[in-house]
Structure 1
Amino acid sequence: MKNAIGMVGLGRMGANMARRLHQGGAQVVVYNRHVDKAEALARESGMAAAGTLEALVAALPSPRVLWLMLPAGDATQSHIDALLPLLSAGDVLVNGANAQHETSIAQAAHVEQAGVRYVDAGVSGGVWGLQEGYALMVGGSREAVAAVAPFLRILAPAPDQGWLHCGPVGSGHFVKMVHNGIEYGMMQALAEGFAILKGKEAFHLDLAQVAEMWRHGSVVRSWLLDLSADFLKKDQALDSIAPVVADSGEGLWTAQAALDLKIPAPVITLALQMRWASQGHADYTARMLAMMRNEFGGHAVQKEA
């Protein structure tokens, strides 16, 4: 099998990446802890499925390339631990999780002691990656990245665009971490702006029309604005959406890196804290503020229903 790759982990990102690789001419062997998911993808696409990690490794020619698209932490580490005894010197493991770059550096040192090469890959593109391509930020040795480059060229929006060998091991996940921190700030700014527009009820603004207009020629045009324009056409009130915004952890890591480097990053930090506030972490603070206003000024306190 020429140009072959093993894909481990078939969640929303992993399955679509496998599809794009297959559509781009790569020979893809897929594996998932739940074997039925791998078998269903194989039936759908014609790519090969492996029922075990041993079968996955045996199906790939040397030097093997295996891409792990699993949650960061224990899930990724346990699969690396299971794969390492099965691999040979010169094989390449790609960690595509949203992992901390320090963890990736330590992980690479362990992997490379066995003679296996390691690449950390930050992947952006979400559910649109299959159609539009993925932004790929990779770290590792020149030789390790060269072995993975044929697959990066397929996954990216174009063979020569949308992917970058950022530097040594850890740099790919570091660049992806900062990317996600910037994403937090951009999303927060757009959300606040549209909330202000909605709040000016006297103007009866059509937010969908505003968003669509801004998409053309405006300095705030972006993919996030494109997505916002699309959902605002369907629903501007958003009354059915709970005001809770999760955080993946990378915004926190970015803020922590800024503190470590003594680099001011107030927008990213405040955007992260606004996500925590939406999760209820500001509730006690708000209660304290309400009681202070009541104590010093006699201002009324609203009671919970």
Structure 2
Amino acid sequence: MAMGGKADLGLVGLGVMGRSLAANLADHGYRVAGLDLDPGRRAAFAADAASAVPCAGPAELVAALAGPRAVLLMVPAGAPVDAVIADLAPHLAPGDLLVDGGNSHFADTGRRAAAAADRGLLYVGLGVSGGEEGARRGPSLMAGGTEAAVARVAPMLSAIAARAEGEPCFARVGPGGAGHFVKTIHNGIEYADMQLIAEAYFVLRHLGGFSHARLAETFALWNQGELGSYLLEITADILRKTDPETGAPMLDVILDAAGQKGTGHWAATTALELGMPAPTIAEAVHARCLSALKAERVRASRGLAAARPPVPPPAETPDQLAKAVHDALLCGRIATYAQGFAVMRAAAEAFGWDMDLAAVARVWRAGCIIRAKLIDRILDALRGDPTLPNLMLDPGIGLLVARAEPGWRRALVLAAEAGLPVPCTASALSYWDGYRSEKLWANVIQAQRDYFGAHGYRRLDRPDAVVHTDWTRP
């Protein structure tokens, strides 16, 4: 704690997340000096805690801090982060620390950390998950930076983090941009899990004829078992909500066009750049893009849908359908987490990061948006075998999928026969089938590439040599 009336931490950006974190810090005895260009936000910040120190400019903020100083940035990713750093830098001294708590791209964080080091400053890229409530009551915190830099703020971050079995959901996950990379993958998993839950709702609602009340009851029941998660819990709450204006279920008055801020896109494109398959995460991004084409979909529904033959109702009872959809959601979630952790392992190898994937799983147990019962199984798997290349290779997780696989397949067949799009459910199953297939279709692709581009291929009997065939000769 700071002495002599000085603040322990400077905070730039007093929006919802910034003020929530400041209040959390105040609850744990830390004094925060806050800066925002909006005087209304500064006034609201000052009213939140008697210890708050509102500041009107960078010089005033830095002067209010005990040395060596630490400043947390909670501003939008991109150019605003660089602008704030440029404003603060002339007032900082070697040994001072900057912490970027926004959703910055990990490559930008690596660049900024290197530039800060050239000035003698420490830098931490901090992934923060949990939304407004998490920031206020206990978020999941993923820190990237040198051990010395993270250690400087570790007591403070450990104090405000969520708790799981008494442990703070805070960890250093690697150097440089590793913290923001882990947060990016977290958000990619979040995209896919949200889409999978939405697809489960879609099938039960439109194929099974489930009412919103029955869906809420079903999801709440699932939430007590293997599918237990924050996202499923809030979806059950959403299903219970009615529109105060019309009395209709809230979901019936919400436009079916999803928004996004880019982190899911980053997760998918980075996986592609690393050559690591993450098809369900990518499909979740594509699904949001497809949903945004509302006007085109309306036009297509009035034309292309006219040729669709009527589909008879499924032979399954509603309870049997619900069981199949439950199993599809469970397996889809497992495949999604497997993809996300595989991408993180590939990034650690590609970028030379000392990333502890078990620590990542540990901090995702509480506070974050993707917290789920499944993470306990993932943590056990990674503690048992830290070198595990894919979570689906863990015997316990693999057995869980094997048991639920028949229902997964049946749910997908029923959706396809009824013309109901379930892109993430289908993508996850193809990933599972492809990953466990000793032989795939790539021999045809290699032959095609060699035919039109002379790219060469490897033979089964000579795998160390690249050969070429003149495909046009007899």
Output the TM-score relative to the length of structure 2.
0.59
In 1, Cα distance between equivalents of 2:48 and 2:103: 28
1:254 CA displacement: 0.8
User: Quick one: structure 1 residues 192 and 52, their matched pair in 2 at CA, closer, same or farther if it must change by over 3 Å?
Assistant: same
Question: In structure 1, what residue type is equivalent to 2:273?
Answer: D
- Over 3 Å counting, the alpha-carbon distance change for 1:107 and 1:203 in structure 2 is closer
C-alpha spacing 1:270/1:231, structure 2 compared with 1 (3 Å): same
Which residue matches 1:69?
74
* 1:241-291 deviation digits (Å, cap 9, x = unpaired): 111211111111111111112111111011000111122289389759957
Question: 1:302: which partner in 2?
Answer: none
Question: Residue in 1 aligned with 2:280?
Answer: 267
Q: Distance in 2 between matches of 1:212 and 1:288?
A: 33
Greater Cα offset, 201-210 or 136-145: 201-210
Distance 1:45 1:170 in 2: 32
Structure 2 gaps, min length 5: 243-248, 310-474
Structure 1 unmatched ranges of 5 or more: 300-305
Correspondences of 1:210-249 after superposition (within 5 Å) = 210-217=218-225, 219-235=226-242, 236=249, 238-249=251-262
Could you say which residue in structure 2 is the equivalent of 1:42? 46
Structure 1 contact 133–156 (Cα < 8 Å) conserved: yes
The verdict on how the C-alpha distance between 1:289 and 1:140 changes in structure 2, with shifts beyond 3 A counting, is farther
Of the three residues 79, 91, 99, the one matched with 2:96 is: 91
| Equivalence map 1:21-40=2 (5 Å) | 21-40=25-44
Partner of 1:187: 194
Change over 3 Å in CA distance of 1:174–1:202 after alignment to 2? closer
Letter in structure 1 aligned against 2:25: L
- The Cα offsets for residues 109-159 of structure 1, whole Å up to 9 and x where unpaired, read as 111111110000010010211454101111111111011112211220138
Structure 1 residue 206 corresponds to structure 2 residue 210? no
Distance 1:287 1:242, change over 3 A: closer
The CA distance in 2 between the partners of 1:133 and 1:259, in whole Å, is 33
CA, structure 1 residues 286+122, in 2 after alignment: closer, same or farther (shift >3 Å)? Answer: farther
Cross-structure match for 1:303: none
Question: 1:212-232: per-residue Cα shift (whole Å, max 9, x none)?
Answer: 111112x21100011111121
Indicate which of 79, 84, 97 corresponds to 1:79: 84
Change in CA separation of 1:282 and 1:165 when aligned onto 2, cut-off 3 Å: farther
Partner of 1:139: 144
Tell me how far apart the structure 1 counterparts of residues 200 and 8 of structure 2 sit (CA, whole Å).
47
Match of 2:160 in 1: 155
Matched AA of 2:276: I
Residue 110 (structure 1) aligned with residue 115 (structure 2) = yes
Q: Counterparts of 1:171-182 in structure 2 under 5 Å?
A: 171-182=178-189
Comparing 252-261 with 87-96, greater Cα deviation is found at 252-261
Alignment of 1:7-26 (within 5 A): 7-26=11-30
1:40 shift after superposition: 2.1
Residues 103 and 180 of structure 2 are in contact (CA less than 8 Å); yes or no, is this contact kept in structure 1? yes
Deviation string 1:172-223 (CA, Å, 9 cap, x unpaired) is 0000000000001100000000111111355657111111111112x21100
Q: How many angstroms does 1:27 deviate by?
A: 1.1
| Contact kept in structure 1, 2:70 and 2:96, CA below 8 Å | yes
Distance 2:145 2:22 in 1: 22
Structure 2 counterpart SS, 1:206? helix
Amino acid at match of 1:19: A
By how many angstroms is 1:44 displaced? 3.0
Structure 1 residues 100-109 or 38-47, which shifts more? 38-47
Counterpart CA distance in 1 for 2:149 and 2:302 is 55
Query: Structure 1 CA distance, aligned partners of 2:297 and 2:233?
Result: 36
Q: Take 1:160 and 1:8, find their aligned partners in 2: how far apart are those partners?
A: 28
Q: Is the contact made by 1:178 and 1:254 (CA closer than 8 Å) also made in structure 2?
A: yes
Query: Which stretch shifts more, 152-161 or 137-146?
Result: 152-161
Letter matched to residue 179 of structure 2: G
Deviates more, 1:183-192 or 1:202-211: 202-211
TM-score where L is the length of structure 1? 0.90
* 1:279-294 mapped onto 2 (5 Å cutoff): 279-280=292-293, 283=296
Q: Which moved more, 1:9-18 or 1:33-42?
A: 33-42
Q: Give the superposed CA RMSD.
A: 2.5
In 2, distance between residues paired with 1:70 and 1:130? 15
Kindly provide the amino acid, as one letter, of the partner of residue 24 in structure 1. H
